[in-house]
Amino acid sequence: MYEQLAIELTEQNLQQVIEQSKQTPVAISFWAPSMPETLEVNAILEKITREYQGQLVLATLNCETQQMVASQFGVRGLPTVALFKDGQPADGSSGPQTEASLREMLNKHLPSQEELQLKAALTLVDNKEYAQALPVLRQLATAFPQAGIVTLAIAECLVETAQFDEAETLLATVLMQDQDAKYKGLMAKLELHKQASDSPEIRSLEEKLATTPTDSAISFDLAIQYNQVSRTEEALELLITILQKDLNFADGSAKKTMMDILAALGQGNPITGQYRRKLYSLLY
């Protein structure tokens, strides 16, 4: 593992660097201190390497001090850039280089920015940082519309942040070939949630409300029960219905409960925006 950004290539570490390309692609920049244009190429490659966050290794070969190594590569002019992948030369370019031309050459062999973002988001999921990963994954879903791994990662974030209804809707779209152990685990968690959220108290209140659907007191008690078992959207719908009839129901308890639920959901949750707008339309 090399600490510096660019590995200084020599006869001693040449084979080691080529071996490293079996794990991570290696860009080799052939340069000379007497040629300023080669230093510019090195600077561009350093910038690109930083962006790839470990997905690209940069090695530089000083052709003035390492003439024997340069001759092994058959370098005829500078600047020259060679890309090694899986221990073999994969691509290269020689002559005047621009950032655009270097990116065009490297992009054919390296992950896209979206793929890098996806890898970072999946790492967040692995680290149980679901609230941070979810908005990133939602954006990436359009870039990978057929990728089961993205759908399952979003569903995992939804389940772990108690957004069960949306998680269930999303999991229903997962194709048969993507219904792996992760999918089955999420479905099991949903089933456990359903069992826990259908308590005798809730069933009793639901039956009472079915008999007297305009009873705001029963609706309020049921909303509290729903919220306690993470049936958040159902709780909010009951509360907004109560407030539409009586904004100050139970000395403002319904309004306060709804605002507390929205605050707990957080700004990034789409349900928050939907019900906050409904509430504000009543308040203002």
Distance CA 71, CA 92 (A): 16
Q: 35 burial class (0-12, 13-18, 19+ CB within 10 angstroms)?
A: middle
Cβ atoms of 30 and 81 closer than 8 Å: yes
- Helix, strand or coil for residue 66? coil
What pLDDT score does 3 carry? 42
CA 20/CA 41 separation, integer angstroms:
22
- Which residue has 């050459």 as its token pair? 105
Instruction: List pLDDT tens digits, range 17-48.
Output: 999 999 999 999 999 999 999 999 999 999 99
- For 90, the token pair is 């994969």
> In the prediction, which pLDDT does 2 show?
35
Lowest mean pLDDT among 60-64, 173-177, 209-213, 270-274: 270-274
Q: Is the pTM of this model over 0.85?
A: no
pLDDT in tens, 112-168: 888 889 999 999 999 999 999 999 999 999 988 878 999 999 999 999 988 888 999
Place of tokens 């609230």: 131
Q: How confident is the model at residue 169 (pLDDT cuts 50, 70, 90)?
A: very high
Residue ranges of domains in the chain, CATH in brackets = 6-107 (3.40.30.10), 113-196 (1.25.40.10), 200-283 (1.25.40.10)
The strand ranges marked E within the chain are: 6-8, 26-31, 57-62, 80-85, 88-94
pLDDT one-digit tens code per residue, 174-223: 999 999 999 999 999 999 888 878 888 999 999 999 999 999 999 999 99
